[in-house]
Amino acid sequence: MTHRITLIPGEGIGPEVTAAVVSIIEASGVEIAWEEHIVGSEALHQFGDPLPSSVIQSIKVNRVALKGPVTTPVGEGYPSINVRLRKALDLYANVRPIRSLPGVPSKFGEIDLVVIRENTEDLYSGLEHIVVPGVVESLKIITEKASLRIARFAFELARREGRRKITAVHKANIMKLSDGLFLDCFRRVSRQYPDIDADDRIVDNACMQLVMNPQQFDVLLLENLYGDIISDLAAGLVGGLGVTPGANLGDGVAVFEAVHGTAPDIAGKNLANPTALLLSAILMLKYIGEREAAERITEALHGVLLAGEVRTRDLGGQATTTEFAQAIIDAL
């Protein structure tokens, strides 16, 4: 069976890592008809919109996309393409499995946790305005609907994946209404899942605990902004942004992408580590039912990482993106 999947190579190192991942998937024998789309400044130049409606339409039809990183202009310019995409497709759950990889050194021992981030609201919506010159208001919106939905998603995922505990992370001691609502929804939903432990931590304490004793956590559930920050912190526990995958999930629609950005410092140099996007693609293959191929690619990746002879620079090696991809293809 041929799967039809939207491919967004993205910007910076995006095209390099997506090309590597596409070549590995091809070598695995899974048949995919990629529908490629450009976004970002080139799309703005060509179509007058950094996120043309044809891209959203393509994902709506195909239901699955693999996406490279895109640039988000800081302090000016167009709004985040990622935020627009997540809103347009109602990709309300961001899931980032944080797992130690064989042969990848980390200061924190064996780690296996999942960070689940609410993806549609909170301060991260970028709803800001100037009240009077010199005074800016930024709106943090938390709704019962979105908080209940993401809590249910987290408990369902925990049950499906045999995980035992969910920790909600918040600052409800200060933001008693907004984070208080998020926490209250979590607690209400938790009563329907007596088989899964539910506890919570204040976000600053959670950061400290994550670097002191990460093994105590199983699933972390966070609002959008805390989730953005803590998922990068968690990526650092297992070897960094080059090795951490992600998925943005809605009801019947999914966009798989690495946690990292466009890495302008190494873009165009064939130096990026494609592992993070490859692990995201492995999540995607499982999602579309290609479990056996997903497992074969995982094994090949682990074999190459464990052997340690072919590694990209971020993992202390000298290999290029294409050499690393070729080593995985050879192992397959």
Q: Which residues are catalytic?
A: 124, 171, 204, 228
| CB contact burial 222-232 (16+ within 10 A = b; e otherwise) | bbbbbbbebbb
Query: For ligand NAI, how many residues bind (rule: CB under 6 A)?
Result: 21
Of 276 and 293, the one with the shorter C-beta distance to ligand NAI is: 276
Q: Which of 82, 178, 244, 248 binds ligand NAI (CB under 6 A)?
A: 82
Stretch that binds ligand NAI, among 126-134, 162-170, 198-206, 259-267 (CB under 6 A): 259-267
What would the two tokens of residue 164 be? Answer: 């035992």
44 binds ligand NAI (CB under 6 A): no
- With binding defined as CB under 6 A, does residue 311 bind ligand NAI? no
Q: Are 16 and 321 in contact (CB under 8 A)?
A: yes
How far is the C-alpha of 309 from the C-alpha of 213, rounded, in Å?
31
68 vs 290, beta carbon nearer ligand NAI:
68
Q: Which of 24, 27, 32, 70 binds ligand NAI (CB under 6 A)?
A: 70
Name the residue nearer to ligand NAI (CB basis): 139 or 229. Answer: 229
- 8 and 67 in contact (C-beta within 8 Å)? yes
Q: Which is nearer to ligand NAI, 10 or 214 (CB)?
A: 10
Tokens, residue 294:
């997903």
CB-CB contact of 98 with 237 (8 Å)? yes
Considering only 53-61, 119-127, 197-205, 257-265, which stretch makes contact with ligand NAI by CB under 6 A?
257-265
Q: Which of 76, 137, 195, 265 binds ligand NAI (CB under 6 A)?
A: 265
3-state SS string for 70-98: CCCCCCCCCCCHHHHHHHHCCCCEEEEEE
Is residue 276 a contact point for ligand NAI (CB under 6 A)? yes
Q: How far apart are CA 51 and CA 87, in angstroms?
A: 12
Q: Residue 324 Cβ, how far from ligand NAI at the closest point, in Å? A: 10
71 binds ligand NAI (CB under 6 A): yes
CA dihedral 275, 161, 148, 255 (to 10 degrees): 30
| Residues that bind ligand NAI in the complex, under the rule CB under 6 A | 13, 17, 69-72, 82, 241-242, 257, 260-266, 272-273, 276, 314
